[in-house]
Amino acid sequence: MNTVEAIRTRRAVKVYDPSFQLSREEKDELLQLALLAPSAFNLQHVRFVEVSNPALRAQIREVGWNQAQMTDASMLVVICAQVDSWEKNVRRVWDGAPGEVQNFMAGAIDAYYRDKPQVQRDEAMRSCGLMAQTLMLAARAKGLDSCPMDGFDFDAVGKLINLPDNHVIALMVAVGKRAAEPKPRIGKLPFDEVVIRDRF
């Protein structure tokens, strides 16, 4: 499936075939593709928590508005981000670049993020969104379906996955094989209303 077709046919599928299972290798390939998405300053904020344990998935469903895809889809990923990656990982993510580039980037990153908690969180969330969409399109390109989700108790899920204090949860993505066709797309706002040329 080509990229355009994957974009056009990607839907937020709610009903999955629970008998369909992806192998560990297949899941890892999807995650590796998702990790090719860009991140600000190459900081690679995103952390994927791939939840395979059936009991844990059932607990997540209990605090996730009883959404069936949390247990029925073959793959469930809690997409998180390390908010302080700008401070903790800057040397690691620029390892291999010339020394002057490393020093320049370290200074630029520090100036951009330090004492700006909203910017730190916003950047982390942007990176999560890019990774999530890349994961969903990678899945669709392989003939799979997906569903992004934020209808859950974030604090409760954080406790269930032992989320570190310096991390946040952005959303979850379920991936698997659809067991029912998604409902038709409705309510799309007009193109000319959502696309602005030059200025509002």
Examine residue 137 and state whether it is found in any structural domain, yes or no: yes
CB 167 within 8 A of CB 79: no
Predicted model pTM? 0.95
Question: What's the CA gap between 70 and 61, in Å, rounded?
Answer: 6
Helix, strand, or coil (residue 31): helix
- Other Cβ atoms less than 10 A from the Cβ of 71: the count is 20
Residue 135 lies in a domain: yes
Q: Which of these, 87, 50, 6, 85, lies nearest to 173 by C-alpha position?
A: 50
How high is the pLDDT of residue 161?
98
Domain contains 7: yes
Q: What is the pLDDT, as a whole number, of residue 199? A: 97
Number of Cβ within a 10 Å radius of residue 64:
22
Residue 199 domain-assigned (yes or no) = no
Asked if residue 200 is part of any domain, the answer here is no
Residue-number span of the structural domain to which 76 is assigned? 3-194
Task: Give the model's pLDDT for residue 70.
Answer: 97
Quote the number of domains for the chain: 1
Distances (CA, A) of 45 to 40, 82, 118, 120, 166: 9, 5, 15, 10, 11
Count Cβ atoms below 10 Å from residue 80 Cβ, excluding itself: 24
- Short-list 41, 46, 45, 165, CA closest to 111: 41
The parts of the chain modelled with pLDDT lower than 70 are: none
Has residue 175 been placed in a domain?
yes
Which domain CATH number covers 78? 3.40.109.10
Question: pLDDT value at position 166?
Answer: 97
Tell me the pLDDT tens digit for each residue of 68-126. 999 999 999 999 999 999 999 998 999 999 999 999 999 999 999 999 999 999 999 99
pLDDT of residue 146: 98
Select from 60, 32, 24 the least CA-distant residue to 48.
32
Is 104 among the domain residues?
yes
The answer to whether residue 185 is domain-embedded is yes
